[in-house]
């Protein structure tokens, strides 16, 4: 067994005989260098010699063949040709002998795709365009070929021309021609490539594909259901490869990763997609610090070189602190405006609602100070020296000075105050904090530097939270396979709601971009949590519970939300802008009109029938009504 493992390892890690003898650190250096040096050949194997965007004065005199789309034409003399690498000016020949070339280039509609061959020449003095990277040169065309004509466009392919998102999604293949979409998808590809390199080549991870036809399992997001040919039996699309990656650890795969497609039927939520991509990772014999260092290294290695470098280690904050100071489990730490507990200042208050809140067992009073808010936030009451607020008259002098001292309130600051149960009071202020930041920024203040990437680990989450729809019952804060904090295990049997977990989230600029945990590898503990605390049907997970009984190693992992990460890196307004073919807000593919109806005879093999709601829109559209996209 060792013999084939060694051979496999040798074959994979040693493309040349020489590298095989390098020590790990020099191998690492070598890989890093070779990946920096390699410049891709953009014109190998195809009918062009160069890309439109790469030509410069250094190419003067060269005979080139270019393929691209006609961006625009000027007075039938110049034509600007575009490919995904840039724009180049082509001079349309005017002499009689080149009449056929002129005809092709002058008659082809904008966005037609052409091939031209000619010489790189310099532009006449004074006609250079410093705004164009290729602006010192142009192409003197000798031959031209119309590869395909373009009919009238539904919108102009220019980034500055505004179009509705519905139209962009309906004609996504045209939208993808924009420089912005090209940039986003290419940057995404490059970052994923670097991640693979880091994980596989530098750290020995194995890329394993896991099934997308799976079954319903408890304790997570809602799954998409897939009919099968067996009556009454259904597959489900996995919400993540969670169980498979844990089973891979039982199978001795040791270090797994996958660029994994995940599916969640969560209805319409802004900036979520029913199918999305995770960088999914699992390791055996690891602890929380190990996973965190791996991810810090991964992001540092794959980070685009034109952005400020990622500084590691990332700071860390407990869930309790994040909630108390920022009112959320994903704090945007690029700016202050922290929440402060001012309950003690108001212990003897006469203000009715504060008194009321403080008389309750979990009652608190919280405040947040918006520096110079009075100058720029006209919607708020000004908290100037006269304490201009309806509650001000009931606030005693000592409370005023206590508050001013505690919160370092200055003239022209605005103080927002809320009273109630700790978690609720904090989360109200947490939401207002972000609203205020939006308002202040709309008025010209810069609170959140767009060039700044502020990473943060949030740790020590509770293992369980009260269920939203039934607070008497518990649900997992992460997922049911998350291990309890070692020092809280005993509490599982007495006060489970107090147990902290080994769950960690990665936050970037106020967005959760990853989450993971150290897992339970003890079958008994896993069974107890599922059956006794979460009241789940353990039969549905018997495969996993059984696997844990066969020498499952201690293990843990994490998943990074790739779409959101790339969205933040590119500064795109929506995750749909970093996905080639995203779904609309309502989960539709506006280009192909998925999901679509099926005739009853095609449903028969699956033993299912549609029960149409009365006056159903879906039924109407299934009766071949003209397709009407969402707006």
Q: Which residues bind ligand ASP (CB under 6 A)?
A: 240, 242, 515-517, 557-559
Q: Which helix (H) or strand (E) holds 151?
A: none
3-class SS letters over 540-566 = HHHHHHHHHCCCCCCEEEEEEEHHHHH
Closest approach of ligand ASP to the CB of residue 478, in Å: 6
CA dist., res. 313 & res. 201, Å (int): 22
Closest approach of ligand ASP to the CB of residue 294, in Å: 12
DSSP 404: H
Closest approach of ligand ASP to the CB of residue 266, in Å: 13
Closest approach of ligand ASP to the CB of residue 516, in Å: 4
Could you give phi then psi for residue 493, rounded to 5 degrees? Answer: -95, -5
3-state class percentages of the chain: helix first, strand second, coil last, to nearest 5: 35, 20, 45
Helix ranges (H only) for 17-62 are 24-37
**Cβ distance to ligand ASP smaller for residue 277 or 584:** 277
Closest approach of ligand ASP to the CB of residue 240, in Å: 3
**Cβ distance to ligand ASP smaller for residue 375 or 512:** 512
**Cβ distance to ligand ASP smaller for residue 219 or 430:** 219
**Cβ distance to ligand ASP smaller for residue 50 or 278:** 278
Closest approach of ligand ASP to the CB of residue 546, in Å: 20
Closest approach of ligand ASP to the CB of residue 519, in Å: 8
Q: In terms of Cα–Cα distance, which of 212, 194, 206 is closest to 261?
A: 212
Closest approach of ligand ASP to the CB of residue 327, in Å: 22
Closest approach of ligand ASP to the CB of residue 281, in Å: 7
Q: Note every long-range contact of 481-487, with CB atoms under 8 Å and residues 24 or more positions apart, other chains counting.
A: 481/242, 481/243, 481/246, 481/517, 481/519, 481/520, 481/526, 481/544, 482/517, 482/518, 482/519, 482/520, 483/517, 483/518, 483/519, 483/520, 483/521, 483/556, 484/520, 485/460
CA dist., res. 408 & res. 342, Å (int): 13
**Cβ distance to ligand ASP smaller for residue 433 or 500:** 500
- The CA-atom distances, in angstroms, between 508 and each of 51, 119, 185, 458 are 36, 49, 20, 11
- The CA-atom distances, in angstroms, between 339 and each of 45, 320, 321 are 60, 13, 10
Closest approach of ligand ASP to the CB of residue 242, in Å: 4
Closest approach of ligand ASP to the CB of residue 264, in Å: 9
Q: In terms of Cα–Cα distance, which of 302, 193, 332, 305 is closest to 565?
A: 302
Closest approach of ligand ASP to the CB of residue 397, in Å: 51
CA dist., res. 221 & res. 229, Å (int): 25
**Cβ distance to ligand ASP smaller for residue 437 or 506:** 506
CA dist., res. 92 & res. 257, Å (int): 52
**Cβ distance to ligand ASP smaller for residue 118 or 515:** 515
Chain Cα centroid distance, residue 398? 48
Q: Is 573 exposed, middle or buried (0-12, 13-18, 19+ CB in 10 A)?
A: exposed
**Cβ distance to ligand ASP smaller for residue 207 or 596:** 207
**Cβ distance to ligand ASP smaller for residue 198 or 257:** 257
CA dist., res. 96 & res. 494, Å (int): 94
Q: How many helices (H) and strands (E) does the chain have?
A: 18, 20
Contacts of 393 (CB under 8 A, 6+ apart): none
Is residue 454 within 8 A of residue 332, CB to CB? The reply is yes
Helix (H, G, I), strand (E, B) or coil at 405: helix
Contacts of 552 (CB under 8 A, 6+ apart): 246, 249, 250, 521, 523
Closest approach of ligand ASP to the CB of residue 559, in Å: 4
Q: Which helix (H) or strand (E) holds 122?
A: strand 113-122
Is residue 523 within 8 A of residue 549, CB to CB? The reply is yes
The residue whose Cβ lies closest to ligand ASP is: 240
Q: Which residues partner with 87 through β-bridges? A: 82
**Cβ distance to ligand ASP smaller for residue 561 or 582:** 561
**Cβ distance to ligand ASP smaller for residue 240 or 584:** 240
**Cβ distance to ligand ASP smaller for residue 547 or 558:** 558
**Cβ distance to ligand ASP smaller for residue 256 or 326:** 256
Closest approach of ligand ASP to the CB of residue 512, in Å: 9
**Cβ distance to ligand ASP smaller for residue 188 or 555:** 555
């Amino acid at each position: 067994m060792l013999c084939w493992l060694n051979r496999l390892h040798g074959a994979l890690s040693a493309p040349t005989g020489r590298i095989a003898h390098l020590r790990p650190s020099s191998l690492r250096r070598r890989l890093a260098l070779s990946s920096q040096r390699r410049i891709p050949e953009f014109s190998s194997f195809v009918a062009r010699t160069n890309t439109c965007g790469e030509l410069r004065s250094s190419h003067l005199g060269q005979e080139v063949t270019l393929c691209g789309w006609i961006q625009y034409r000027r007075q039938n003399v110049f034509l600007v040709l575009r490919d995904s690498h840039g724009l180049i000016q082509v001079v349309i020949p005017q002499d009689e002998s080149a009449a056929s070339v002129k005809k092709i280039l002058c008659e082809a509609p904008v966005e037609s795709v052409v091939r031209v061959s000619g010489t790189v020449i310099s532009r006449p003095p004074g006609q250079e365009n410093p705004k164009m990277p290729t602006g010192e040169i142009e192409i003197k065309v000798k031959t031209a070929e119309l590869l395909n004509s373009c009919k009238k466009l539904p919108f102009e392919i220019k980034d500055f021309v505004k179009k509705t998102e519905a139209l962009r999604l309906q004609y996504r293949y045209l939208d993808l021609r924009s420089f912005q979409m090209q940039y986003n998808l290419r940057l995404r590809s490059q970052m994923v490539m670097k991640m693979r390199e880091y994980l596989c080549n530098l750290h020995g991870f194995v890329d394993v594909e896991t099934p997308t036809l799976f079954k319903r399992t408890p304790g997570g997001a809602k799954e998409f259901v897939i009919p099968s040919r067996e009556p009454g039996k259904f597959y489900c699309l996995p919400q993540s490869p969670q169980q498979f990656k844990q089973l891979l650890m039982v199978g001795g795969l040791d270090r797994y990763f996958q660029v994994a497609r995940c599916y969640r039927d969560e209805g319409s939520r802004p900036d979520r997609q029913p199918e999305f991509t995770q960088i999914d990772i699992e390791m055996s014999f690891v602890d929380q610090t190990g996973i965190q260092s791996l991810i810090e290294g991964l992001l540092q290695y794959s980070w685009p070189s034109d952005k400020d470098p990622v500084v590691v280690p990332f700071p860390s904050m407990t869930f309790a602190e994040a909630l108390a100071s920022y009112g959320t489990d994903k704090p945007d730490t690029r700016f202050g405006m922290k929440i402060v507990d001012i309950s003690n200042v108001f212990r003897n208050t006469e203000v009715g609602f504060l008194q009321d809140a403080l008389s309750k067992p979990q009652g608190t009073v919280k405040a947040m100070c918006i520096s110079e808010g009075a100058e720029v936030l006209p919607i708020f009451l000004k908290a100037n020296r006269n304490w201009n607020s309806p509650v001000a008259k009931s606030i005693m002098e000592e409370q005023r000075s206590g508050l001013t001292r505690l919160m370092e309130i200055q003239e022209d600051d605005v103080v927002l105050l809320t009273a109630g149960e700790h978690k609720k009071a904090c989360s109200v202020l947490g939401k207002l904090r972000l609203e205020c930041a939006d308002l202040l920024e709309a008025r010209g203040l810069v609170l959140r530097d767009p060039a700044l990437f502020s990473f943060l680990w949030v740790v020590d989450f509770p293992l369980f939270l009260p269920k939203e729809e039934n607070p008497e019952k518990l649900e997992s804060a992460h997922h049911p396979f998350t291990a309890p904090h070692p020092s809280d295990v005993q509490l599982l049997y007495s006060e489970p709601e107090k147990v902290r977990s080994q769950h960690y989230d990665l936050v970037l600029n106020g967005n959760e971009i990853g989450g993971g945990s150290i897992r339970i590898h003890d079958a008994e503990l896993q069974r107890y949590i599922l059956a006794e605390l979460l009241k789940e049907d353990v039969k549905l997970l018997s495969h996993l519970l059984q696997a844990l009984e066969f020498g499952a190693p201690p293990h843990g992992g994490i998943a990074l939300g790739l779409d959101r990460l790339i969205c933040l890196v590119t500064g795109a307004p929506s995750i749909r802008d970093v996905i080639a073919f995203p779904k609309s807000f309502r989960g539709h593919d506006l280009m192909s009109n998925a999901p679509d109806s099926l005739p009853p005879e095609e449903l028969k093999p699956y033993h299912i029938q549609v029960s149409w709601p009365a006056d159903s829109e879906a039924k109407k559209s299934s009766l071949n009504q003209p397709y009407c996209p969402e707006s």
